Amino acid sequence: MRICFLVDLPLGIWQWDDGLRGAMQILEKEHQICYHLDGDRHGHKPDFLFCWGGTLSKTYREGLDWAGEKALFFAGGPRDNIDELREWDIIYFENEIHTTEARKMGLANCMTAFGTNTEIFYPMKQPKIFDVIYPGAFGLWKRKDLFARAVKGLRALSLGNIQYHELQCWDVCVESGIAVAGDIPQGRLPFFMAMSKSVVVLPVPEIGGQRTVLEAMAMNIPVIVPNDAPLVVEFAEKGGGIIVDPTPEAIRDAILNVPEDNPKGLEYIKNEMTEQHYADRIKEGLADDV
């Protein structure tokens, strides 16, 4: 099968070494795959168009205009644009919560497919320099202010791209004595994460952060999430995550009392959430559609 993945590649390379990239590398062994902004370019006429993104992304909008068969790797839930979502032959959600919600809304062309890249994220030995690390791009929706209040006085690091319109996220970290490292390539994040005793992920309730949760589990690192964010709680419940109230006191207490590792999370990844599992779910969707 000829597949074109409609993905923004400003540098000509896939910049995220995540589970989806790992899954696609597996699929490359079985299918002819190109990655581009337009499936017609370079004379490549795909049998199937893949797109990643939410309803506001360029790849999503361009994918809607494609007349042939197409699959959407949806970074979001089905609450909006349900009529547009019906135009896709397959929709892969990252969470069972979103898949269940979509099916209740009558969207039959959907399934859950997700995982992490265990070629990159795996247990490794590093000196434990930090008490806690918060990986992920800067964003107000990731509640950096809550993180800052929880970890003040601890050895803490915040990793992620510094978005210029959200420099206040930088400020709140620096003012609280939190080290900040921006623009770390995805493939280098594990080396920083392995230097920490714990990982914290604090999204607001309606938005995810689940990829980081799986990455921490794959590295056998304890991961802490708030109990009001169901998209990360879904994975934390299955993989030994530490689920706490979204208060500075509860988060700090969890950081100070984390176990040395998270064997339940590591086992969960190995059994259900590797890039191979991700690829198998993608293939299952393609087979059902064909």
Q: For position 7, what pLDDT does the model report? A: 74
Token digits for 280? 């198998």
**Could you tell me where in the chain the CATH 3.40.50.2000 domains are found?**
132-272
**Could you tell me where in the chain the CATH 3.40.50.11720 domains are found?**
2-115+274-289
Alpha carbons 210 and 203: distance in angstroms, whole number: 9
Element (H, E) at 74: strand 70-74
* Mean pLDDT score across all residues of the chain: 87
3-class DSSP assignment, residue 290: coil
- Those residues with Cβ within 8 angstroms of residue 88's Cβ, 6 or more apart along the chain or in another chain: 63, 70, 71, 72, 109
Q: Looking at the structure, give the CATH architecture of the domain made up of residues 132-272.
A: 3-Layer(aba) Sandwich (3.40)
Alpha carbons 117 and 218: distance in angstroms, whole number: 8
- List the strands of the sheet with 2-6, edge to edge: 32-36, 2-6, 48-53, 70-74, 90-93, 110-112
Q: What spatial distance separates the first Cα and last Cα of the chain, rounded to whole Å?
A: 11
Query: What's the mean pLDDT in 4-33?
Result: 80
Q: Looking at the structure, give the CATH architecture of the domain made up of residues 2-115+274-289.
A: 3-Layer(aba) Sandwich (3.40)
pLDDT tens figures, 146-202: 999 999 999 999 887 666 556 777 788 888 898 888 777 777 889 999 999 999 999
pLDDT tens figures, 271-286: 999 999 999 999 999 9
pLDDT tens figures, 127-141: 999 999 998 765 656
